[in-house]
């Protein structure tokens, strides 16, 4: 396993034309599990104000962009599922498990733009996106 500092976390939502929505981090880690499924674990320590959002998304796949180690690094794109939401005082810890899909930011953006223009949304958008890779 390899562990990295999570510098920035953004959510990509189909109903907002895939415009990134930044989650303000208090702290965070990202772990390449190097398992047979090529899964990554993202741990975001954030303000409790985000709790309702993540509870609402708990049974859905979430597309995220994560910037690792330095703010100047290009973000990597992942499709994730929420593993747990833990209350820690006035903050929460959200664990996301998923696969990296970043094959070049422009390729991902072009494909998502194309699929959204074709009318895909929600789970159908995610399924079609996965099929295209």
pLDDT class for 90, splitting at 50, 70, 90? very high
Residues facing residue 9 across a β-bridge: 23, 66
pLDDT of residue 49: 96
pLDDT of residue 58: 94
pLDDT of residue 105: 61
**Which residues have CB under 8 Å from 16's CB, separation 6+?**
none
Mean pLDDT, rounded, for 77-106: 89
The pLDDT tens digits for 44-62 are: 999 999 999 999 999 999 9
């Amino acid at each position: 396993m390899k562990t990295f500092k999570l510098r920035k976390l953004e959510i990509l939502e189909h109903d907002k034309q895939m415009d990134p929505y930044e989650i303000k981090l208090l702290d965070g880690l990202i772990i390449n599990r190097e398992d047979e499924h090529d899964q990554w674990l993202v741990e975001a320590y954030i303000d409790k104000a985000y709790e309702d959002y993540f509870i609402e998304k708990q049974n859905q796949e979430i597309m995220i962009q994560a910037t690792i180690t330095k703010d100047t690094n290009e973000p990597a794109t992942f499709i994730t599922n929420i593993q747990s939401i833990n209350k820690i005082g006035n903050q929460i810890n959200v664990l996301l498990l998923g696969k990296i899909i970043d094959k070049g930011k422009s390729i991902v953006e072009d494909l998502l733009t194309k699929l959204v223009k074709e009318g895909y949304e929600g789970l159908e958008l995610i399924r079609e996106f996965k099929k295209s890779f």
